[in-house]
Structure formats: structure tokens, C-alpha cells
Structure 1
Amino acid sequence: MEKPKTRGFSVRRYEDALYVTKVDSDDRLVPGMRLISAGGMSILELREKHHRLLSENHPEREDWAPILLQYEEGIVEDLEGHQQHITFQLFEKKPFVPEYSLRRLEQGPVLLTMTDFANPDAIAKLVEEHKDLLETADRWIIDVRVNNGGSDASYFPLIPYLMPEEGVELGNSAETMLFNCTEASCDRVVKEYNNELAPVEDEHFRQVLHSIIREWTRNRGQGFVEFDLGGVVEDTFVKGLKNPSKIIVLTDNMCGSAGDSFVEQVKESSKVTVIGRATLGLNDYANLAVQNWDGYTLMYPTSRLSRIDKGEGMTGVGITPHVHIPWTPEHITGDPDMERALAMLEGEAADGSDRNRESSTEVSELLR
């Protein structure tokens, strides 16, 4: 199977230019350079031409990677403001290297970074190895700005730390997820889950997967059904631990799938303030089934959320943060999100007023 191709760099639009945010392979570029045209068209002209592909509600959510693959050349402006013509190159997409890390910052808070929820054993091990620190640290920062998803069950070991002592109801009786259990989808999904289950040691994750496999098998050929995960997901009212008492979660639109679910759930906790940009918003239609042919892979969703029928879906919107921090080129050379998180934990926003800004002009502007 041919490996996916990229231009060797990533961009993000700010006003009328695409800023290089990351360089994977094309060493002619450095982060901070601006792409001001491609194929003889300005970025705003390209935005108009490809508006259907760039069907997002804010420039910071636009994905320009497939657009740049359609053009062979452009004009780049370097950090000194000099412009030059550049012929784009093609590179094989480099494999994603996940990160599950935990460390105490010089300022005091504990920083957890999780770039996906695909490895339950790694996350459970991280929590167990740092249990003493996690139970005594009063302030946390959790960075899921890049999170490629995985399984909701993978972050289960973190939930008691994230919820308040008095507890919070994480279930929603008005919300259902329906799975389209066709025979073909069942066969594909069960095979994939069995492969995923084989190397996993975490007992809770294994129980969840066994229950899901049981429901797929029991409902094979029945069309849209709601799964009964009794025995694994029983009580949705969750009581938490005393520490930490303050948690900042950093999010961005590169956080999706199980990352969406994580952010949506932790927003229910009085301990947590979510800051940054809205998540990708993939869960309206989710739980992908995969069919492979020679040189071709089809991935399609097998579940849908009932919120779609009420016009409350997350597609194109994501899970919005309590505090929206607009993306600017300053994010390339610095970390305004982390600076804001540290300031909030130090008490500059300790009165909690920032938590009520979801209807502020910042977020309202994001949702237009």
C-alpha cells in the first residue's frame, strides 16, 4: 500500500497568510515563515476557491494540507520579510510518535501530556508510577492540544483525580449513541477489536472491549441499536479525590475522537477549566470500521449521536473551551496557552470568573 504523501510542513492560517507551524521534512522552511500565495493565487483567493473543503467556522480550524497538495509552487516570505518562489516537494508522511508524559514544572504544577488515548497500558502505567505525586499535587495542567483519539476507556485511571469530591453526573439520559450493526460492519469491527485486545493488559480496558465485542456480536444484522454496557459502565455519577483542586486542560482543534470525549467530560468538573481552542469535533459519527483492499483503505463510521437530530452536533464546532485563546503567530515562537494556564493557577483568575466566559464575545466569534 502506498504511504500517504505530505508537503513536509504544516501551516495554519492567520489573516491573509499561511504560517508554517511545523517542519517535518522540507528543510528549506522554518517555523514562522509565511506562505502568501500558491498556484498564482493569494491565500484569500484560495480560501474562496476551496471553501467547500475548508468548511470550517474559523481560520484557526482550517485544514490546508489537502489544498497544498493540489499546487506545485508558491511564494514564501522568510522571517526577515524577504519573498522567494518555492517549488513544493512531496514526502512520505512520517509515522506519528505518541507521547504520554508527566513532570512537575518549575512553577509547581504537574504537567501531563497525552497525544492520544490509544495505549491504555501506557496511560495506566504512567498514573501508577506517579501515584504519590498525582495524589499530593494540588495543581495540574493537562495538555491534549494534539490528541489523535483512541478509546475513552484509556483515560479511565485519570477520572477520579479530575472529578470533585462531591461527585458529578457524567451521564446524559437525553443522549444516546446508536450503532449500525450490519453483518459486514460487525465482522470488520469485531476482528479489529480482537486484534486491539490481544496485547492489552489493563483489566478495565479489557472489560470494556469485551463488552463492546459482545454487543456487536449479539446485535449482528440488527441495524441501528443502542448498546447495553451494563456491568462495565454502571454508575455514571462519579466522585473524585481531594487533590488536585485546580486543573487546567489545554485544547486545540488537533484534539479529536476520544480527545473530544475527554474534554467534554472534564468540562463537567468544577475543578477543571478548559482553555485554548475548540476540539476537532469528530464524535457525531464515530467508531470507525475499516475495509482494506490492495492500495486502498475505506474507513467509515458505525455510530451516531442522537444530539444530531436536535441540531446540537459537534461537527465543525468541536467542544468549546471555557476560555477561548485565539491562535496567533505568537504560538509558533512561544506558548501563550501555557502562560495563561500558569497565571490562572497562580491566582490571577482564581476567582473562577473565567469559567463563565463560554458565552463571551471570544467564543461567540469562534462559533460564527
Structure 2
Amino acid sequence: MYDEIFETVVQITHHDYAGCIDKKGWDHPAYFREQIATRQLNDQSFEALMQDYLRDYQELHMGFRRLEQESQRDVGFTVRRYEDSLYVTSSQQEKRIQVGDRIVALDGETIEQAAKRHARELKASHHEREDWSGVLLDTSEVEVIASSGGGRTLALQAFTKLPHTPSYKIESVEDTLILTMTDFWNHDAITELIRHNEGRFQNAKKLIIDVRTNKGGSDLAYSELLPYLFKGSHVDLRDFGDKAYTLCTERNVDLRVELMDQVLQTIEDEKTRHQIDVMVRELKKNRGNGFVELDLSEIEDNMSFDTKQGPEEVVVLSDVFCGSSGDSFVETVKHSDKVTVIGRPTLGMNDYANVAMMTMEEKFQFWYPTSKSSAVDEGNGMGGVGIQPDVYIPWTPEHLDKDVDLERSMEVLENFTHKGSNI
């Protein structure tokens, strides 16, 4: 079973993955074939082997996992690197460690040594962009310096990973409206939130949009918000957007249509349903045609819109935990004269996008992107760098004690008010 699954994945990465031409020769299937043939594997070790194979593609929209929820594990806390320490940023399940504690060694290695050895897993060129979750899961013990003082060695445990809990909320702080969106998955909930608060958006002088932890979803989900964020009377996003070329292999079209049919079952908004229907029709029409720029002119009213009365100045908070449709949102609103992006660069996932998912042997799930941005060939891709903020604020341990980004945003908006111009 394992060798058949592996060969299917290799076939997909070589022929159906949207980066198959650009990244030809990046993978090393012969090595992994030998591993499968000579090792005694179970589902867990095979999952790890597949994830290791896929790392060579450096593709954030690609992954392989076991389907059981309990198989998704983490160490019960999260960290972020600053200089030569990993600072604990949250601790939902591991109660032996606290926010603000710092880890200075993993299995006897300094953080710098561990970073060099695990460069493929960390997938980053900058400390504050490193993802240590997988490395920690494979670590036996860490040396911890408590925020209150004193050091100790801690043997790590594995916990069943908690599911993501979406949050879409609007709150007011003095004369500023703050909108937080942790993802763009729930079209109906986000659309309802925007429509229900139309008056607040129209009357607000200042708006802060927090997408620092936005896990993506669908660009369609935030279309109702865009008319409040631009100046002028009419905006056409195609004036500054890149083109997308969809690899319409038979497999890709079948998997994408299947996924969209599932999404339709969760959406009630008629406009969104129509947009998805048109995308499905275009995919089916081009099935087997290779790379195609889909004709979505029938539904491109979401790319062109009349602006609405809204806040005079807008700040968008970004960070490396904002990816996929979160990347798209930040990239789009940066074109607005009244938007200032503050924080750190986004994750940068969208050189290759529009994911297809495939279930294998009712045990595993493999996903990969099926479309390619024209920015890749133009040398303007976002991979590894993300969408850059207008005002960069390095992450430091001070962020654990207070919301440095939000405070700076308030200062920037106050500067707008007093000076009447951009910073």
C-alpha cells in the first residue's frame, strides 16, 4: 500500500502540481523508494517519510497527513525565535511551561545549532519566520529558562492538536473600529458580519483590520469588505493584480470540482454560490487542456466594484502567520491609498495556489496547488518573503507583554488625523 501511495504522489508532483515545471528535479524519489522498500513502516512513520519527501519542493500549499484527528499532534505550546532563544508565545495544553519562558537548547543543542541541522523543516531565511512546531515534536527534552528566573530540563510530551477556532469580530476602541478575522473560510459568517455592521463601517473615521493569524480560505469571503477600503468612486482590482494560470489536468479538474461541490454544501449566499458554479463550469470546460487562464469574466464583478463611504484611514496588521487568502487580502489592500500595512511580512503562499485534495486508502490526505501566479515568471513571487508591510515592526519578547503592533497602529492613525497625510 505504501509504495502505491508514494508512486501516486510522485506522479502528481511531476505532472499535476502547478510547480511541476518550475521545480522539476527538486525532489529525490529514488531515495524514498529505497526507504519504503527497506524499512518497517507503519502509518505514522510513513506519514513522516512522505512529509520529508515533500519538503524538497518548498511548497507551503502542499502537505500529507493521516486523517485521524488524534494523529495530529503538537507539544501543547507555541514558540517564536528571537536571537538565540525560542520564546513561548502560547501554552494551551502544556501547563508546565508559561508564556514568556524561553527555550535555549533542544536535546543538548543550542538553538543556532538546531536551526542549522533542521533548516529544511524550518523553511525560513529569517529568525522570526521560522516554524519550530515540527522540530519540537521530534525533540525529547528542552532546556527552559523561566520568565521568573531559573533554568530546568523539561521532557516534552505530545498532545492531540487542538482544532482551529475561527473568530470574526468587530469592536470599538475610542474612535477606532477594530476588525479581527482569523481566517476567510466561513463565507456566510463573514459576509453577514460586514453587512450587519454596514453603518459602523460607513461612519468610522479609523479602522484597524487584524489578520496577523489569518489561516486563509477563499478570496471571495472578504469581497464585501473591499469597497470600504479604497478611495475614489470605482476600483478594478485587475489593474494591479497578477494573472493566474490553472493546470487543468484531468485529475486536477476532478479533484477541484469535488472539493467545490463540498464547499457549496456549506454556503447559502447566492452570489458566492454563483461564483463557485461558474468556476466549476470553467474547470470542466478546460479539463485536460494543461495551463489555462480561466475565463471568469461572468463573475468578475467581485474584481470590479463601486466604493462605499467608509473610514478615512485604515491600518492592516500582518504577520508571518497570515497566509494563502490572507496573503491575497494584504496584497490587494496595499494598493489602496488609505491603507497602511503594519507588522511583519505575511507567510507568502500564493505563488502556487487553488489547492486540490486527494484521500488515499481512507487513511491519508494529500493536498497540492493547481494554479500558478504570473508573478513567478516575472520574478516577483512572494515565496519565502511574503507581502511586505509599509511599516515593519520586528518581533521581540516585548510583544508578549503588550500588543506593540496595535499601539503603533493607534499612533499611525493619530498621525493621520493631525497631519492629514500619509506617514
Coarse TM-score class (shorter-chain normalised): over 0.9
Indicate yes or no: 2:205 matched with 1:138.
yes
Alignment of 1:16-27 (within 5 A): 16-27=84-95
Once the two structures are superposed, residues 46-74 of structure 1 have per-residue CA deviations (whole angstroms, 9 ceiling, x without a partner) of 11111232232211111011111221101
Instruction: Confirm or deny: 8 A CA contact 1:165 1:241 kept in the other structure.
Output: no
Match of 2:255 in 1: 188
For residue 159 of structure 1, the aligned residue among 226, 236, 239 is 226
Rounded to whole Å, the distance in 1 between the matches of 2:331 and 2:387 is: 6
Match of 2:51 in 1: none
Q: Give the match's secondary structure for 2:299.
A: coil
Q: CA deviation at 1:173?
A: 7.3
Gaps of 5+ in 2: 1-66
For residue 64 of structure 1, the aligned residue among 132, 136, 142 is 132
Alignment of 1:289-368 (within 5 A): 289-293=356-360, 294-347=362-415, 350=419, 352-354=421-423
Q: Name the aligned partner's letter for residue 165 of structure 1.
A: G
311 and 263 in structure 1: CA distance in 2 versus 1, 3 angstrom threshold: same
Instruction: Confirm or deny: 8 A CA contact 2:175 2:205 kept in the other structure.
Output: no
Q: CA deviation at 1:239?
A: 3.8
Q: CA deviation at 1:314?
A: 0.3
Report the RMSD for the aligned CA atoms in angstroms.
1.6
Greater share of helix: 2
138 and 353 in structure 1: CA distance in 2 versus 1, 3 angstrom threshold: closer
Gaps of 5+ in 1: 355-368
Bigger Cα displacement from structure 2, 343-352 vs 224-233:
343-352
16 and 351 in structure 1: CA distance in 2 versus 1, 3 angstrom threshold: farther
Instruction: Confirm or deny: 8 A CA contact 1:148 1:254 kept in the other structure.
Output: yes
Match of 2:152 in 1: 84
Q: Give the match's secondary structure for 2:122.
A: coil
Bigger Cα displacement from structure 2, 341-350 vs 296-305:
341-350
Instruction: Confirm or deny: 8 A CA contact 1:123 1:155 kept in the other structure.
Output: yes
Rounded to whole Å, the distance in 2 between the matches of 1:140 and 1:304 is: 33
Instruction: Confirm or deny: 8 A CA contact 1:168 1:269 kept in the other structure.
Output: no
Q: CA deviation at 1:108?
A: 1.6
Match of 1:358 in 2: none
Rounded to whole Å, the distance in 1 between the matches of 2:172 and 2:347 is: 28
Rounded to whole Å, the distance in 1 between the matches of 2:414 and 2:396 is: 24
Q: Give the match's secondary structure for 1:147.
A: coil
Instruction: Confirm or deny: 8 A CA contact 1:35 1:75 kept in the other structure.
Output: yes
**Pairs aligned (count):** 353
For residue 123 of structure 2, the aligned residue among 47, 55, 59 is 55
Rounded to whole Å, the distance in 1 between the matches of 2:121 and 2:219 is: 29
Bigger Cα displacement from structure 2, 90-99 vs 171-180:
171-180
Rounded to whole Å, the distance in 2 between the matches of 1:175 and 1:79 is: 46
For residue 352 of structure 2, the aligned residue among 285, 289, 301 is 285
Rounded to whole Å, the distance in 2 between the matches of 1:347 and 1:46 is: 43
Rounded to whole Å, the distance in 1 between the matches of 2:240 and 2:316 is: 26
Once the two structures are superposed, residues 234-284 of structure 1 have per-residue CA deviations (whole angstroms, 9 ceiling, x without a partner) of 584544223211100000011111111100110011111110011111000
Once the two structures are superposed, residues 118-146 of structure 1 have per-residue CA deviations (whole angstroms, 9 ceiling, x without a partner) of 11100111112111111111110000001
Rounded to whole Å, the distance in 1 between the matches of 2:336 and 2:224 is: 16
Rounded to whole Å, the distance in 2 between the matches of 1:350 and 1:38 is: 50
Rounded to whole Å, the distance in 2 between the matches of 1:173 and 1:352 is: 23
Q: Name the aligned partner's letter for residue 349 of structure 2.
A: L
Q: CA deviation at 1:325?
A: 0.7
Q: Percent identity?
A: 42
Q: CA deviation at 1:295?
A: 2.5
Once the two structures are superposed, residues 7-31 of structure 1 have per-residue CA deviations (whole angstroms, 9 ceiling, x without a partner) of 1110000000000001121011111
For residue 241 of structure 1, the aligned residue among 308, 323, 333 is 308
Indicate yes or no: 2:333 matched with 1:275.
no
Rounded to whole Å, the distance in 2 between the matches of 1:265 and 1:54 is: 28
